[in-house]
């Protein structure tokens, strides 16, 4: 199962975060969000015309799309669009928590999808046991290296995977999704602050 943060888990993570407004001058904003006395999942949002930078415990991302990036991300339901927003990333973390990562679960799902397709089965059709034995090595792979090696070395008289790498085995990282929630939530907190501190 692919582990991704949900809105609920994100809200639990930031339940005690408070906003510290460092700069608020039109489109030039700088704010910090953290638990009092803790650096755990602390983050900053910084904007200037045409850009929004997220930086903190969960990674670093620079977005660019519109003059006021708060307007681009703002919504009151804490909804995120990780796919479209990824297209607006101009720079991302280089320390293992960027936007996408290889997923063993996705690899396995793609293997099963290909087998079902070649056997002309429905999307959730039961794959015959002899075929499951045939692809067992692929399904037992436990990391990216093992998946790629198993697919490269796979040989069978019953089935082949000539176009397998046309599938994407990439998923959005936990950190990137968490940061997307943080941006929308941070803008909500900023808007609430502005309403009560006019």
Does residue 2 surpass a pLDDT of 70? no
What are the Cα distances from residue 13, in Å, to 74, 75, 124, 181? 20, 20, 35, 11
- 3 state SS of 19: strand
Considering only CA atoms, which of 170, 143, 148, 171 is closest in space to residue 161? 148
Reported as a pLDDT band with limits 50, 70 and 90, residue 191 is very high
Helices (H), the chain: 7-13, 69-73, 82-86, 104-118, 129-134, 136-140, 144-153, 174-196
**Minimum mean pLDDT range among 61-70, 97-106, 137-146:** 97-106
Domain boundaries, the chain: 7-98+173-196, 102-172
Does residue 1 surpass a pLDDT of 60? no
Cβ atoms of residues 69 and 52 within 8 Å: yes
Kindly report, residue by residue over 24-47, the tens digit of the pLDDT: 999 999 999 999 878 889 999 999
Taking all residues of the chain, what is their mean pLDDT, rounded to a whole number? 93
How many beta carbons lie within 10 A of that of residue 81, not counting itself? 13
Kindly report, residue by residue over 49-78, the tens digit of the pLDDT: 999 999 998 999 999 999 999 999 999 999
Model pTM score: 0.85
Residue 17 has, within 13 A of its CA and on its CB side, a CA count of 24
């Amino acid at each position: 199962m692919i582990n991704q943060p949900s809105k609920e888990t994100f809200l639990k993570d930031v339940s005690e975060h408070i906003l510290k407004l460092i700069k608020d001058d039109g489109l030039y904003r700088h704010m910090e969000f953290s638990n009092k006395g803790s650096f755990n999942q602390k983050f900053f949002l910084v904007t200037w015309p045409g850009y929004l930078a997220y930086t903190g415990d969960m990674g670093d991302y620079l977005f660019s799309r519109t003059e006021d990036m708060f307007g681009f991300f703002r919504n009151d339901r804490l909804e995120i669009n990780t796919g479209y927003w990824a297209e607006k990333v101009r720079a991302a973390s280089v320390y293992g928590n960027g936007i996408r990562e290889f997923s063993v679960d996705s690899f396995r799902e793609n293997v099963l999808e290909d087998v079902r397709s070649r056997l002309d089965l429905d999307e959730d059709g039961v794959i015959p046991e002899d075929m499951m034995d045939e692809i067992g090595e692929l399904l037992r792979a436990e990391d990216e290296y093992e998946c790629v090696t198993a697919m490269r070395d796979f040989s069978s008289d019953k089935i082949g995977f000539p176009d397998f790498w046309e599938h994407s085995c990439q998923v959005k990282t936990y950190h990137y999704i968490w940061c997307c929630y943080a941006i929308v939530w941070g803008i909500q907190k900023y808007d609430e602050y502005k309403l009560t501190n006019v």
